[in-house]
Amino acid sequence: MRMKILMVLTSHDQLGDTGKKTGFWLEEFAAPYYVLKDAGADVTLASPRGGQPPVDPKSDEPEFRTKATERFRRDQAARSALASTLKLSEISPREFDAVFYSGGHGPLWDLTGDKDSIALIESMFAAGKPVAAVCHAPCVLLHAKAPDGKPLVQGKRVTGFANSEEAAVQLTEVVPFLVEDELVRLGGLYTKEADWQPHTESDGCLITGQNPASSEAAARLLLTQLGRSTDK
């Protein structure tokens, strides 16, 4: 049986009140997408509104391009898949072995409180299926509850975009909240590396990555967990 993995992206494209555009960070989609696809996974893409999710224009600037983003630019099948994401409301958690949330600033505004996303995460987590999120995307965990009713991140080793990284991109006063602060507030055992260095945490079936550079490693952790589950 092929692994069936859901990747979730934001539908939000406005960077607060700045008048600038945001969305998902391209590397945080492309890097894990190809890790999963190259491992033979069947990858399904979803977003709150369905259709083409907005790419943060900054993430496609030359200085942020990577081998994975360049591969995506040449991959018509992947581009077509991204242009036709399913609506989150149409997704059945039972159909998937794991879920991976790509970051970017967009999720702070739409995925954090999205009821379909929260229900998906709670269902996957309760079933012991890997739930992975990188950079700003650990915000999707903030309103999710564990089966015992406590915050999902409480007592769990987690990471996500650091306060110092948000300060470095000069958006501390623009974003609705700081990912690091919220994870800590809810009792998460937050860890981080130096700004922009790869860093991931894995606690049970919960996988988090600190920043764009952590995207590939987070996807590999997800595959490792699925390997363990299929080896049992």
The CA distance from 132 to 137, in Å, is: 9
The average pLDDT across 47-74 equals 97
With bands split at pLDDT 50, 70 and 90, how would you rate the model's confidence at 1? confident
Q: Is the pLDDT of residue 44 over 60?
A: yes
Which residue type, as a one-letter code, is found at position 61? E
4-231 topology per CATH: Rossmann fold (3.40.50)
pLDDT reported for residue 232 = 33
Q: Is the pLDDT of residue 228 over 70?
A: no
Provide the mean pLDDT of the chain: 96
Q: Is 86 exposed, middle or buried (0-12, 13-18, 19+ CB in 10 A)?
A: middle
Q: Is the pLDDT of residue 229 over 50?
A: no
Helix (H) or strand (E) holding 132, with range, is strand 131-134
**pTM score, two decimals?**
0.96
